[in-house]
Amino acid sequence: MSPAGHGPGHTDPRSQFLLALQARDASEHTLRSYGATIGAYLDWLAERGVDWRAPARTELRGYLAHLSAATARTSVSQRLAAIRSFHRWAARSGLAAGDPWGAIATPRLPRRLPRVLEIDQIERLLEAVEAEHAGDDALALRDRAIVEVAYAAGLRISELAAAAPSALDLRRGEVRVMGKGRKERVGLLGRPAIAALEAYLEDGRPVLLARQGSRRRGSRAGSTAPPDDPDVLFLNHLGRPIGVRGLRYRIDRLCRAAGLPDGVSPHTLRHSFATHLLDGGADLRVVQELLGHESLATTQIYTHVSPGRLRAAYVAAHPRAVTTPASSATPASSATPAVGPEPPTTREPA
């Protein structure tokens, strides 16, 4: 057998691992990313005559130095997570004794608080839609619906791109999406999002879909075939599915047009959704369910982003959060919090 167990005539461990991921309904993006990472790792070991099942610490440190020299810190962390997942799978499958990376100290990324938009910045983003699409009502209706739905339901951009018209229940204010791990969940829609979707479905999407048909008829003289209606909610200017890249491009353009700070991304709308819900008093487990987080610990980061929620919890729980000076004649019942003014009220996420 070749040192890496990775050569011609032998079962490729990378392919076996990817099949195992596929059986667990891993996304296409995960399969591509993990496949590239594991392939590069196994090739690096094979070039040095190292058996991938039991590499020495010096070899693992060498690979870590190789990654760190050529890759951003965030990418190093992501690639090591994929490699460790591969080794854990190999151990469970009986292909290796264990995870050799378990004894290696690897760099940890600092926990960054997610960027969050203020309510007025959400409004500016929606106002930018009209300016961006002056003269093209169909695209304006689409982009307004995109922003309203992303913010109202806290969807990931991949979930937004894959959402289908058949998954909408506007009477109940719900949209069904397929989240990470192929898990279906229901996102909730407020009145502004429902109104934006109704307008888009009535006057925007049919116009975009017709453009697909007219473009096809223009390229094939005499053709009268109706346009193909993809089971995708959001279409591009040619009547085709807009996709993740198209959505990211549109939202990035709107953010720039609205004058929002650098670094605001489509995922910022999801962060804002969660933080504004907590600011409004929503239970953390409810927010976890709406976001589709498997672990409550993932959702808890938003409690650190929401100073209003932290202040309210402090005032409600700490015995000396509300004090009345002894010399004051003000009744204790009218005492004000010593930690500052109450947070401003915010509208419920659209």
CATH code for the domain in which residue 78 is found:
1.10.150.130
> Do 40 and 175 fall into the same domain?
no
> Do 141 and 21 fall into the same domain?
no
* Average pLDDT value over all residues in the chain: 83
Least confident of 216-230, 246-260, 262-276: 216-230
CA separation for the pair 210, 228 (Å, rounded): 9
Reported as a pLDDT band with limits 50, 70 and 90, residue 56 is very high
Q: 132-183, pLDDT tens digit by residue?
A: 887 789 999 999 999 999 999 999 999 999 999 999 999 999 999 988 777 8
Active site residues per annotation: 156, 180, 267, 270, 293, 302
160-169, 277-286, 336-345, range with greatest mean pLDDT: 160-169
Task: Flag whether 304 is in a domain.
Answer: no
Task: Flag whether 289 is in a domain.
Answer: no
* Per-residue pLDDT at 1: 38
Q: How many domains does the chain fold into? A: 2
Q: Which residue has the higher pLDDT, 36 or 296?
A: 36
Task: Flag whether 170 is in a domain.
Answer: yes
CA separation for the pair 31, 6 (Å, rounded): 19
What strands, in cross-sheet order, belong to the sheet with 174-178?
168-169, 174-178, 184-188
Helices 266-279 and 137-153, axial angle in degrees (round to 10): 50
* Per-residue pLDDT at 228: 78
CA separation for the pair 308, 285 (Å, rounded): 18
Look at residues 50, 264, 261, 238 and name the one whose alpha carbon lies nearest to residue 142.
238
Domain range for 136 is 119-262
> Do 149 and 202 fall into the same domain?
yes
CA separation for the pair 272, 211 (Å, rounded): 34
Beta carbons within 10 angstroms of residue 48's beta carbon: 12
Domain stops at, among 232, 262, 292: 262
CA separation for the pair 136, 100 (Å, rounded): 58
CA distances from 344 to 106, 118, 258, 348 (A): 43, 12, 23, 13
> Do 88 and 146 fall into the same domain?
no
- Angle (CA) 99-105-107 rounded to 5° is 115
What is the average per-residue pLDDT within 100-125?
A: 81
> Do 68 and 160 fall into the same domain?
no
Task: Flag whether 271 is in a domain.
Answer: no
* Per-residue pLDDT at 241: 94
Helices 137-153 and 119-132, axial angle in degrees (round to 10): 160
Domain CATH code at residue 135: 1.10.443.10
Task: Flag whether 299 is in a domain.
Answer: no
CB-based contact 287:274 (threshold 8 Å): yes
Task: Flag whether 178 is in a domain.
Answer: yes
Q: Which residue has the higher pLDDT, 298 or 332?
A: 298
- Residue 83: pLDDT over 70: yes
> Do 183 and 257 fall into the same domain?
yes
Domain stops at, among 69, 103, 137: 103
- Angle (CA) 52-58-64 rounded to 5° is 75
- Residue 328: pLDDT over 50: no
- Residue 333: pLDDT over 90: no
